[in-house]
Amino acid sequence: MASGINRMHICMVMAGNEEGGLEKHVVELSNGLKHRGHQLTLIAHEKYQSRVDTDFIAVDLTKSRRNPFTLYHLYKVIKKLQPDIIHVHGNKAAAMVGSILPYLGIPSIATLHSRKKNTKMFKNFNTVLAVSPNAAEVLKHSNVHIVLNGIQPPVLDKNIKKNQPPMVLAVGRLVPVKGFDVLLNAWQKVQGAELWVVGDGFEEQKLKDLINQLNLTDSVKMLGFRDDVLHLMQQASLYVMSSHYEGCPYTMVEALLCEVPMVSTAVGAMTMVLPQKNLTPVNDVEALAKSINRCLADLNQAALDCCEAFAYAKQYLVIDGMISEIEKAYQKTIRPE
């Protein structure tokens, strides 16, 4: 527990049952707060129970956010707990808990994990955390703080060699917002390297068809879902993101902590962390191809260009730093100055 931070009973609420950055964040934050001496109760889908060593209440919140029976059950569970503070994650959990907050009378905080058009569900919370400046911009709230995601510093394996020919890695759900079609079109203009795409999703076949259509089968590998991204990251010479919008993606943090140079569209936390020359406009095939080729042409210079980003990640994008910032937000929410 950080100096000056009192022990708290924190009720964490997560509404989904997916496998992504939000879920990873909630699990790691919950365990981290417990390890700092706080009492932590996580309300979430039963599938996450084995992943945390906190108190856990299994509640299926995957149904409609307006379901009156679910909302009443959630109200009773939280009212019985009487925590010092409630912390919810994502729009759906914010909508559900936000609708019952006036009847609970408990200090509250919510995290917006990516830029959304509709953020009305956050209005009833005392404090709102955003994981990137882009996400914070859309919030119409008087008490917003930006806290970037942090992870456990990875243990790097010095025996892992960089792939030859140079490998460019891209990781994410195969859905339109990730812009993998833009990346594949840009890849037509890249020579002498391989692109490995990790992830699954409903666009998988569409992207495979595009690879065939663009004659990229020799240089692009679709690896599907993998649980060894850290290993792949250490084989990569460059990490690339082509998303239309993002929050603070864990893969960005992993890339920087592995000291892998990174190119990205100018979205989310990347605009705070990466050098300007490594940011490209959204949906710009030419600019993305140019940035990738510049880095591949001189990988040593690409690493030097990202030195400040690597140092920033080691100081601010590790889980201890993130938890300390969130503890301070809890304290200020419970006892506003």
> What's the CATH class of domain 9-150+318-334?
alpha beta
Phi/psi at 97 (5° precision): -70, -35
Two structure tokens written together for 231: 């290993």
Domain 167-316 matching CATH 3.40.50.2000: the answer reads: yes
Which contiguous run of DSSP H or E holds residue 280? strand 279-280
Residue 294, pLDDT > 90, answer: yes
Dist. CA 268–CA 134, nearest whole Å:
5
Residue 152, pLDDT > 90, answer: no
Phi/psi at 318 (5° precision): -105, 155
pLDDT for position 2: 52
Could you report the per-residue pLDDT of 234-255, keeping only the tens digit for each? 999 999 999 998 888 889 999 9
What is the pTM for the complete model shown?
Answer: 0.76
Residue 3, pLDDT > 70, answer: no
DSSP H helical segments within the chain, as ranges? Answer: 21-35, 68-81, 90-104, 133-137, 180-187, 204-213, 229-235, 250-257, 270-273, 285-297, 299-305, 307-316, 319-334
CA 126 centroid distance within chain: 23
Residue 140, pLDDT > 70, answer: yes
Contact between 183 and 253 (Cβ < 8 Å): no
Could you report the per-residue pLDDT of 62-112, keeping only the tens digit for each? 878 888 899 999 999 999 999 999 999 999 999 999 999 999 999 999 999
Output the CA–CA distances (angstroms, integers) from residue 262 to 149, 254, 312, in the order listed: 17, 11, 14
Size of the chain in residues: 337
pLDDT for position 116: 78
Could you report the per-residue pLDDT of 44-54, keeping only the tens digit for each? 999 999 999 99
Q: CB atoms < 10 A from the CB of 226, how many?
A: 14
Q: Summarize the confidence of residues 183-206 as an average pLDDT.
A: 98
Residue 115, pLDDT > 80, answer: no
Q: Mean pLDDT score of the chain, rounded to an integer? A: 93
Q: Would you place residue 178 in the very low, low, confident or very high pLDDT band (cuts 50, 70, 90)? A: very high
Location of each CATH 3.40.50.2000 domain in the chain: 9-150+318-334, 167-316
